[in-house]
Amino acid sequence: MTPVHFSFSSAFILGLMGLTFHRTHLLSALLCLEGMMLSLFIALALWTLQFEMTGFSAAPMLLLAFSACEASAGLALLVATARTHGTDRLQNLNLLQC
């Protein structure tokens, strides 16, 4: 595989592993999510350049717009968690489990 291909794929997989293995803060999961989105953005932009499909140029922008929405939804959930549980630390989320 080409180096560029390898770089954004590994960025994606590393971001995914960061999302799943985050230890203390919920915020770090959201940051890794952003990183995944960024790598997908680069992938789409390179797709357009590689295959020279000018009609596909709008796709990265679309992805960016929707990732912004999703990021704001994630932040809203963060704020809601912080309001109900006090912090965003993951230990607090199942503290009252019986």
Partner 1 sequence: MHLTTLILSSSLILVIAILIYPLLTTLNPNPQDQKWAITHVKTSVKAAFLMSLLPLMIFLDQGTETIITNWHWMNTTPFDINISFKFDHYSIIFTPIALYVTWSILEFASWYMHSDPLMNRFFKYLLLFLVAMILLVSANNMFQLFIGWEGVGIMSFLLIGWWYGRADANTAALQAVLYNRVGDIGLIMAMAWLAMNLNSWEIQQIFFLSKNFDMTLPLIGLILAATGKSAQFGLHPWLPSAMEGPTPVSALLHSSTMVVAGIFLLIRLHPLMENNNIALTTCLCLGALTTLFTAACALTQNDIKKIVAFSTSSQLGLMMVTIGLNQPQLAFLHICTHAFFKAMLFLCSGSIIHSLNDEQDIRKMGGLQNLMPMTSTCLTIGSLALTGTPFLAGFFSKDAIIEALNTSHLNAWALILTLIATSFTAVYSFRVVYFVTMGTPRFLPLSPINENNPSVINPIKRLAWGSIIAGLIITSNFLPSKTPIMSMPLTLKLAALLVTIIGLLTALELTTMTNKQFKITPTIPLHHFSNMLGYFPAIIHRLTPKLNLSLGQSIATQLIDQTWFEATGPKGVSSLQVKMAKTVSDAQQGMIKTYLTIFLLTTTIAILLTMI
User: Which positions lie near partner 1, rule CB under 8 A?
Assistant: 16-17, 19-23, 26, 29, 90, 93-94, 97
Give the residue among 84, 89, 85, 37 at the shortest CA–CA distance from 63.
Answer: 37
DSSP state of 96: T
Nearer to partner 1, 14 or 45 (CB): 14
In angstroms, the CA 39 to CA 4 distance is: 11
Pick between residue 22 and residue 46 the one whose CB is nearest to partner 1. Answer: 22
Least distance (Å) between residue 5 CB and partner 1: 16
- Beta bridge partner(s), residue 79: none
Minimum distance, C-beta of residue 44 to partner 1, in the bound complex (Å)? 20
- C-beta of 54 vs 97, nearer to partner 1: 97
Residue 75 CA neighbour count, 13 Å, CB half:
8
